[in-house]
Amino acid sequence: MSYPDSRCLADGGEVSAVLQPATRQPDRTVGAAAVHYLATSASTRGEFGLY
């Protein structure tokens, strides 16, 4: 297994945090489970989606 080449070669990181209030409506409801996306494909530049 190998890791992909580094994308960020800068000295600092990227500030990209977003506050999600507890009162936010779920993005999806599956049966009795309600889920919220933590990172959408759009916010990760198409790399992945995380919920």
pLDDT (tens, 9 = 90+) of the chain, 51 residues, equals 788 888 778 888 778 788 889 898 998 899 999 988 888 888 787 888 777
Q: Give the SS3 label for residue 50.
A: strand
* Residue 19 belongs to some domain of the structure: no
* Residue 30 belongs to some domain of the structure: yes
* Number of structural domains the chain divides into: 1
DSSP labels for 1-40?
Answer: --PPPPS--SSS---------TTPPPSEEETTEEE--SB-
Q: How far is CA 33 from CA 27, 28, 36, 39, in A?
A: 11, 8, 10, 18
Residue 13, pLDDT score:
79
Structural domain for 32, as ranges = 24-51
* Residue 31 belongs to some domain of the structure: yes
* Residue 44 belongs to some domain of the structure: yes
* Residue 43 belongs to some domain of the structure: yes
Residue 48, pLDDT score:
80
* Residue 4 belongs to some domain of the structure: no
